[in-house]
Chain A
Amino acid sequence: GAVVSQHPSWVICKSGTSVKIECRSLDFQATTMFWYRQFPKQSLMLMATSNEGSKATYEQGVEKDKFLINHASLTLSTLTVTSAHPEDSSFYICSAVPPSGRNLPEQFFGPGTRLTVL
């Protein structure tokens, strides 16, 4: 149980275009999902907290107008990288907290999406 998927697993796009990444909890409902970015040989950096039915909470230094997050249902959160540039190339990973996480805050991670902006 507690499976999280991401789509696509990789994407290559031209500079200036927008890219949407989906994060789905397959066998549980997640009121809270998180989005991380990981550059090569670096750690996971939390970008934002996605809450179902409300606006995302962004970490300091993350541009909310560039990284649009929508959590329209209890099983789906989307991250849209708008007007992507080469410096946005990274590994984007989502995670979700199942309802049982109210007592034990374990997060379940998606497989990640590798974005390459040319």
Chain B
Amino acid sequence: GENVEQHPSTLSVQEGDSAVIKCTYSDSASNYFPWYKQELGKRPQLIIDIRSNVGEKKDQRIAVTLNKTAKHFSLHITETQPEDSAVYFCAASPIGYKLIFGSGTRLLVRP
């Protein structure tokens, strides 16, 4: 089945700097790759997603890139702010809309 690996597990950046989180997936049939932000005790919130027929997508300070050949996708957050501090999860959808999640990255933005 699908396996999603996520790195790094923790990331600390200075406010205003960029943050990059990387994921790899194993199932070439996966065609949908969302990114979620989760605050403690809360539900995951979709922040951006990308489909396999697109290489890059941007939404203000957030961008996602996808390399299907290498089975890599990455989240880029520019001009980080303290409110960006949270746990971020990548996910891949191999079949039937189900999602397999990465292990998560705890992002800390230092003021």
Partner-B contacts on A (CB < 8 A): 32, 34, 42-46, 49, 60, 91, 93, 95, 97, 101, 104-107, 109-112, 114
Residues of A within 8 A of B103 (CB): 42-43
For the complex formed, measure the closest distance between the CB of A69 and the CB atoms of chain B, giving whole angstroms: 14
* Residues of B in contact, count (CB < 8 Å): 22
Whether B97 contacts A32 by the Cβ 8 Å rule is yes
A19 to B49, CA, bound (A): 34
Partner of B44, one of A32, A97, A105, A109: A109
Residues of A within 8 A of B43 (CB): 93, 109-112
Query: Beyond A105-B32, A106-B34, is A44–B44 a contact (Cβ under 8 Å)?
Result: yes
For the complex formed, measure the closest distance between the CB of A31 and the CB atoms of chain B, giving whole angstroms: 10
A32 to B46, CA, bound (A): 18
Chain B, 23-46, contact with A by CB distance < 8 Å: what is the 0/1 string? 000000000101000000111111
A109 to B44, CA, bound (A): 7
For the complex formed, measure the closest distance between the CB of B64 and the CB atoms of chain A, giving whole angstroms: 14
For the complex formed, measure the closest distance between the CB of B100 and the CB atoms of chain A, giving whole angstroms: 7
Partner of A46, one of B49, B51, B100, B104: B100
Residues of B within 8 A of A93 (CB): 43-44
Chain B's closest residue to A114 (CB) is B41
A97 to B100, CA, bound (A): 15
Chain B, 71-101, contact with A by CB distance < 8 Å: what is the 0/1 string? 0000000000000000001000100111111
Whether A46 contacts B98 by the Cβ 8 Å rule is yes
A106 to B33, CA, bound (A): 10
Whether A49 contacts B44 by the Cβ 8 Å rule is no
For the complex formed, measure the closest distance between the CB of A94 and the CB atoms of chain B, giving whole angstroms: 10
Query: Beyond A43-B104, A60-B1, is A107–B99 a contact (Cβ under 8 Å)?
Result: yes
Chain B's closest residue to A91 (CB) is B41
Whether B89 contacts A112 by the Cβ 8 Å rule is no
Residues of A within 8 A of B102 (CB): 43
